Structures are given as C-alpha cells and as structure tokens.
Amino acid sequence: MSDLTIHELTGKLRECAGDAEGVDLDGDVLDVPFLELGYDSLALLQVTGVIARERLIDIADDAVIEAHTPRLLLEVINSSPNQAA
C-alpha cells in the first residue's frame, strides 16, 4: 500500500475530529504542532485508530502521542508494520 499523504491525513482529521475554527488545514501544516491545529492526543488516537483499521497496520499508541506534528505522525503511520495475517 502506498504511503499516507498529508492531504489524506488532513482529510481523516476533518472526517474524524472536525475542523478547528480559524485553522487552515490546506496550508503548510506539516510542522505545525497538533495542539496549534486544534487536535489533542485523544483526537489523534481516534484518527490513527481509523487509519490503522483501514490500512490493516499496527500503530503504537505511545508513538502517536509522541508525534507532535503531522510530519512526525505521517512518519509513524508510514513506518507501521502490517498486521499479522
């Protein structure tokens, strides 16, 4: 499966956790902390849970919590192992 892109990630953030008022997720947000984008750790865990189920990958919760920006979260997601068959 191909790597998750920033556009796919921001789409999932919107779909699962909504848009924060005054935040433009379509801008250059790769290195903007999630808290500044309006997403807390619970929102990120919810989003990554959906992504993990859709992509059949294992994403460690503690790695998600430590990924403070979209760039770091994409690295975590895209390096996550496939679930055992």
Asked, for residue 44, whether it belongs to a domain, the answer is yes
Find out whether 80 and 7 touch, Cβ atoms under 8 Å. Answer: no
What is the residue range of 62's domain?
A: 6-78
Q: Answer with the residue of higher pLDDT: 85 or 32.
A: 32
Query: In the block, which residue shows the tokens 């998600």?
Result: 64
pLDDT confidence of residue 27: 86
Question: DSSP letter at 83?
Answer: P
pTM value?
Answer: 0.90
The angle that helices 6-17 and 70-78 make with each other, rounded to 10 degrees, is 100
Token pair of 36 as six digits: 């500044």
pLDDT confidence of residue 84: 58
Q: pLDDT grade, residue 82 (50/70/90)?
A: confident
Give per-residue pLDDT as tens, 16-69.
988 877 788 888 999 999 999 999 999 999 999 999 999 999 999 999 999 999
**CATH of residue 60:** 1.10.1200.10
Asked, for residue 46, whether it belongs to a domain, the answer is yes
Asked, for residue 38, whether it belongs to a domain, the answer is yes
Asked, for residue 84, whether it belongs to a domain, the answer is no
